[in-house]
Amino acid sequence: MATKVKKVYLASPRGFCAGVERAIKMVNLVLKKHKTPIYVRHQIVHNRHIISDFEKKGVIFVEDVNDIPDGSVAVFSAHGSPPNIHDQAKKKKLKIYDAVCPLVTKVHMEAKRYVKEGYYIFYIGHKNHAEAVGVMGEVPSKSIVLIDSIQTAEKIKPPQTDKLIILNQTTLSLDDVKEIVNHLKKRFPKLILPPSSDICFSTQNRQNAVKELAKKSKTILIIGSKTSSNSNRLKEVAKKYGAKSYLIDDKLEIKNSWFKKVQSVGITAGASAPDYLINDLVDFFKKKGAIIKELTIIKEHIHFPLPNNL
């Protein structure tokens, strides 16, 4: 494939976040500690390559805990699981390792705490996304409602308007959430937010890095799977900031036609995309003679500790 691309801007931070890094480390350690097969409930992280690499090592991915044989070893995904799933696992005597990201756990705790204090929760998130299901499952359904758009925010009729709080999925677009929050605040002046944002630092950093990329290049390649919420948000942010972007699983998906008149390309990756896929893509442009320039907006030094049982 011939390209005229002379410069590649590489966003930093990009790719793996602390929660994904921890979840993947956990599955590898569980594989070392126990005989295969081991089971993982839901995709451990939303990335096609990671899933198929683990399948080759003897991991079986299931959506329903009932598909796991009693007494087996199982890992729960980074997106978090509702309490009824933990109860089911207990009944089936599964040996569970929970790879839920600590920042998702924070939202689970907030949901429980605020409902106990009498609040009604507006949960901004994507319907049926594993993280949303996990958080919403923590509290009675009469005390929480899912808001997935401005349109829903316009129609929402809470049972009371004195004690309302907004929680949200960790991987949403900061700008979209702000818009929905502002809208809801106009309708419900007593509405409060938790003390610190639920949108996690890695999501914020990767979105801010894409905004910088969009200033440098109007074509942006995002490594990430279509099922990855935070990768899809990067695509939306790129669009909002005037760049055409392509969400690809790996370099094999790029097309000649994208680069016909393009001299510079921005590259980033969702929080569940492994480094080797990003490096492959960068190498592709390097081999064609492009200069690679890293655009660093912030350095991330956060690593989450592993659970005690590993």
Contact stretch for ligand SF4 (CB under 6 A) within 98-106, 134-142, 153-161, 283-291: 98-106
Residue among 55, 110, 117, 131 flagged as catalytic = 131
Q: Does 232 bind ligand SF4 (CB under 6 A)?
A: no
* Minimum distance of ligand SF4 from residue 104's CB (angstroms): 5
Q: Which is nearer to ligand SF4, 80 or 137 (CB)?
A: 80
Strand 120-124 relative to strand 144-147: parallel, antiparallel, unpaired? parallel
Among 77, 203, 217, 219, binds ligand SF4 (CB under 6 A): 203
Among 200, 209, 234, 248, binds ligand SF4 (CB under 6 A): 200
Alpha helix locations (H) across 10-80? 18-33, 48-56
Q: Binding to ligand SF4 (CB under 6 A): which residues in 242-301?
A: 271
Helix (H, G, I), strand (E, B) or coil at 256: helix
Q: Does 107 bind ligand SF4 (CB under 6 A)?
A: no
Give the residue among 270, 274, 123, 279 at the shortest CA–CA distance from 207. Answer: 270
Give CA–CA dist 38/69, Å, rounded. 10
Kindly calculate the radius of gyration of the chain based on its CA atoms and give it in whole angstroms: 21
Q: Does 96 bind ligand SF4 (CB under 6 A)?
A: no
3-state secondary structure 153-178: HHHCCCCCCCCEEEEECCCCCHHHHH
In 7-158, beta strands by DSSP E: 7-12, 38-41, 59-62, 73-76, 95-98, 120-124, 144-147
Whether residue 154 lies in the annotated active site: no
Instruction: Compose the 4-43 pattern: x for residues touching ligand SF4 by CB under 6 A, - for all others.
Output: -------------xxxx-----------------------
Among 217, 230, 245, 268, binds ligand SF4 (CB under 6 A): 230
Q: Which is nearer to ligand SF4, 85 or 101 (CB)?
A: 101
| Dihedral of alpha carbons 198, 168, 150, 215, sign | positive
**Token match 């200033």: residue?**
215
Q: Does 171 bind ligand SF4 (CB under 6 A)?
A: yes
Site residue total, ligand SF4 (CB under 6 A): 15
| Dihedral of alpha carbons 77, 81, 86, 92, sign | negative
Q: Using CB under 6 A as the criterion, which residues of the chain lie in contact with ligand SF4 when the complex forms?
A: 17-20, 78, 101, 103-104, 170-171, 200, 202-203, 230, 271
- Supply the residues annotated as catalytic: 131
